[in-house]
Structure 1
Amino acid sequence: MEESCVVARPSRRANIIAVSAIGLLTATTLVGRQSSSESTGWLIFDIVVGVVACGSILFLGRRPIQASLALAALAMLSPAATPSSTVGTLTVAQRRPLRIAALIALAGTLGHLVQGIWRPIHGLNLGWYLVLDIAVHAALLGWGQWTQARRALLHSLRERALRAENEQGRRVAEARTLERTKMAREMHDVLAHRLSLLATYAGALEYRPDSSPEKLAQAAGVIRAGVHQALDELREVISVLRDSEIEELPGGRPQPTFGDLTWLVDESRDAGTEIRYDEAVTAPESLPPATGRTAYRVVQEGLTNARKHAAGRPVTLVVKGQPGGTLQIELTNPRGNGVPLTPGSGTGLVGLTERVQLAGGTLDHGEADGGFRLHASLPWPA
């Protein structure tokens, strides 16, 4: 606390101004005392003490306690040290804890009391002098401590504002990172499925160049339409990620729901994937839209991975559930030949796991019975 309250050392110009002001007050004090009752014999002594006291002001910045004690001692000898001693008491009160400042104020009070005893002021008895002495030093002590507390408060407010600004910057950075992660997940979910279908058709063109012109034209048309659809979905993903609660994509096409699973399965079948789809869902219309979208993404990711890593192998999809329980999704397929149809980033299942966890469910995936198994469990409130 003591070190934090020490202000910066004043400049040379500020020292000159301070010493000049104190010197003027000292001269005024000397004139006032000489015009009252004291003889001119004290004048030279008071001038010397006043010069020494004004010079001691320069040491208050580096050694405020020692300089203040010295000024209190000079105040015992001459009223010429009173202005300087007052400044010393105030300086310590502004820069040091209350206990030390109170001791310095007490030293100043005692110093001026001794001065009032052996060099009293004409027309002012010792009792009133003591009252004024105590009141002045108490006021200096209170003023200095208030200034110190105000300075500490302003410093605390500045630090708090700086921390709040840094915290706001950190939150903005986290929000941007979260948005980028969300965008990457959505792009993966939406585009990986579409591009894997295009890769399937392109592979058919590559390995069956002897197909009839009609089939080649049909496959090329599917690829062209798929590319346009992938571009449309990319624009839609970028737009919809600005508001995760939007229920309808630009162009009027709604986001996928649980009811679109049949279309998703048929699309994969048209691309040549053999799928056995077993659905046993009670009252699917009561399924929350967010849960339905998550279920759609789970099946989409499972079919995409099966098409990439086990092309030409059959896929078994089982979906079952009822209100008040859970929606169970299980997708299994045999092991592939080890050569993926298209390269993958390996982050699709990571993002899917996070999506399912955010929906309050669980996701398990891994090798099972010589193949791959993907199982998701999503809560379905009644």
Structure 2
Amino acid sequence: MTEYRWVLPSVLLGDGSDGRPAKRSTRDWIVDTVMFLAACGLTYLSLSDLAGDPRPLQMIEQVAGALSCAAVWLRRRWPFGLALVTTVVSSFLMLVGGAAVVGLFTVAVHRPFKFSGPIVLLSLVTLVPYVMLRPDRELGFWGAIVLGVAIVLTVFAWGVVVRARRQLVWSLRQRADIAAEEAKRLERERIAREMHDVLAHRLSMLSLHAGALEFRPDASSGEIARAAGAIRDSAHQALQDLREVIGVLRHPGADPDSPVPDRPQPTLGDLPALVEECGHAGMDVTLSTPGFDVPLATSAGGERRPAADPDVPQGLGRNVYRIVQEALTNARKHAGGAPVTVTVTGGQDDGVTVEVRNPLGGRQPMRLPGAGAGLIGLNERAELAGGRLQHGKTAEGDFLLRAWLPWTP
């Protein structure tokens, strides 16, 4: 199981991933302009309260107010520094209050609580000297304190809500992206598994034809030509399948947004062709499909119709085909020359049962490398389809592979 760890990117909150400021979007410019105008508006509303102050103090207030409003444009680059400086200065200068409110909101949005929390606490503490230096005759000391606390907490809560919403949207997008990538990965694995089964089948057929030439040096020129043609066709098909496998494995680095390549999948109606191909390679295979509209085909030949039972789900037919294909490949490897019986039975109510039986031994087992991965893959395929698979020696001395698959539309 792949584990993912998510770290909230700083670019989401206005900073570049390498520590440099992120380029402002159109929306960012609009928001920054609104914040600047808000700071200027609050500063303008406070000008009337400077009427009774000395002229030098009024000039200091106006200069500090103008500088603080201009500093609002730096809120994305230094949110904590802007909030810290404006909060401290606003404890004794009135016209810095507008920029202090914007700084508090900005640090709540752009920084976690370990940074924004101290700014809130500092804002609450600086209310006391501000109210003492500029008492409000209508509200009184405690009335002004309560109003200031309400403003600070409201602005801070607003910023926290905005930050939480951004984090939620970002996490949902990440989940969607990860789910899409996981779906693509699983689809690539499925396609690679399908191609592996086909490639193993092709290579075993190639080895079987080559073995026939090795053990029949006295074969006629016509037989040798047919065997050589079969080897050429099998090698060509194997190379095509190998190219498709490599294409699937290389696909993630090529274009992640393009669709994953796929190939036509076999169905239950392709079983006769599979059995006939094995018959041409010298295997003695008998196919029996009672209850299904699938033509009978044996190594001795038989009538064939192009379509399988249309009621059989495509996924079920594909799984049945792959199980039979791998079972025949194993029979060629370990019981060369032994007759093989393939039986497919079942229906919508009982599911589908696949049995592949062959005597143990045989004339000449094929010396092909293998580590039992084929049977492991078949067991995984059956479990993924909701079924089960068993294999082993029977009391009669045969090797039996039995798989049951549910009838899932």
TM-score by length of 1: 0.61
- Name the counterpart of 2:401: 374
For structure 2, list consecutive stretches of 5 or more residues without a partner in the other structure.
1-47, 62-79, 106-115, 249-258, 295-308
Higher helix share: 1
Contact 1:279 1:320 in 2 (8 A): yes
Match of 1:318 among 338, 343, 367: 343
Q: Give the alignment of 1:261-272 within 5 angstroms.
A: 261-272=271-282
For 1:271, the aligned partner's letter is A
- Name the counterpart of 2:206: 198
Question: In the superposition, relative to structure 1, how do residues 277 and 133 fare at CA in structure 2: closer, same or farther (>3 Å)?
Answer: same
Contact 2:274 2:325 in 1 (8 A): yes
Contact 1:274 1:313 in 2 (8 A): yes
Offset at residue 327 of structure 1 (A)? 1.6
In 1, the alpha carbon distance for the partners of 2:104 and 2:239 equals 72
Contact 2:353 2:404 in 1 (8 A): yes
Offset at residue 222 of structure 1 (A)? 1.7
Superposition RMSD on alpha carbons, in Å?
5.0
Contact 2:131 2:145 in 1 (8 A): no
Find out whether 1:150 has 2:158 as its counterpart: yes
Deviations 1:272-320 (A, max 9, x none): 2233444422556232333222212111111011112322233232222
In 1, the alpha carbon distance for the partners of 2:273 and 2:99 equals 88
For structure 1, list consecutive stretches of 5 or more residues without a partner in the other structure.
1-27, 36-42, 51-59, 73-80, 117-127, 250-254
Q: Give the alignment of 1:242-261 within 5 angstroms.
A: 242=260, 249=264, 255-261=265-271
Tell me the secondary structure at the aligned position of residue 338 of structure 2.
Answer: coil
In 2, the alpha carbon distance for the partners of 1:375 and 1:381 equals 19
Contact 1:93 1:145 in 2 (8 A): no
Find out whether 1:215 has 2:223 as its counterpart: yes
Question: In the superposition, relative to structure 1, how do residues 288 and 167 fare at CA in structure 2: closer, same or farther (>3 Å)?
Answer: closer
Deviations 1:314-369 (A, max 9, x none): 32322222343222111123445897532236433343334334444322234545
Offset at residue 183 of structure 1 (A)? 2.2
Tell me the secondary structure at the aligned position of residue 210 of structure 2.
Answer: helix
- Name the counterpart of 1:347: 373
Larger radius of gyration: 1
In 2, the alpha carbon distance for the partners of 1:243 and 1:85 equals 62
Question: In the superposition, relative to structure 1, how do residues 281 and 30 fare at CA in structure 2: closer, same or farther (>3 Å)?
Answer: closer
For 2:406, the aligned partner's letter is P
Deviations 1:12-60 (A, max 9, x none): xxxxxxxxxxxxxxxx98982469xxxxxxx9xx9xxx9xxxxxxxxx9
Offset at residue 199 of structure 1 (A)? 0.8
In 1, the alpha carbon distance for the partners of 2:51 and 2:354 equals 101
Instruction: Work out the number of aligned pairs and report it.
Output: 312
In 1, the alpha carbon distance for the partners of 2:197 and 2:100 equals 73
Offset at residue 153 of structure 1 (A)? 3.1
Find out whether 1:111 has 2:138 as its counterpart: no
In 2, the alpha carbon distance for the partners of 1:188 and 1:90 equals 64
Find out whether 1:185 has 2:193 as its counterpart: yes
Tell me the secondary structure at the aligned position of residue 320 of structure 1.
Answer: strand
In 2, the alpha carbon distance for the partners of 1:149 and 1:368 equals 73
Identity of aligned residues (%): 37
In 1, the alpha carbon distance for the partners of 2:158 and 2:374 equals 56
Greater RCO, CA 8 A, separation 6+:
1
In 2, the alpha carbon distance for the partners of 1:34 and 1:228 equals 97
Contact 2:208 2:366 in 1 (8 A): no
Tell me the secondary structure at the aligned position of residue 129 of structure 1.
Answer: coil
- Name the counterpart of 1:163: 171
Deviations 1:57-85 (A, max 9, x none): xxx97xx8xx98xx98xxxxxxxx46499
Deviates more, 1:165-174 or 1:216-225: 165-174
Offset at residue 265 of structure 1 (A)? 1.8
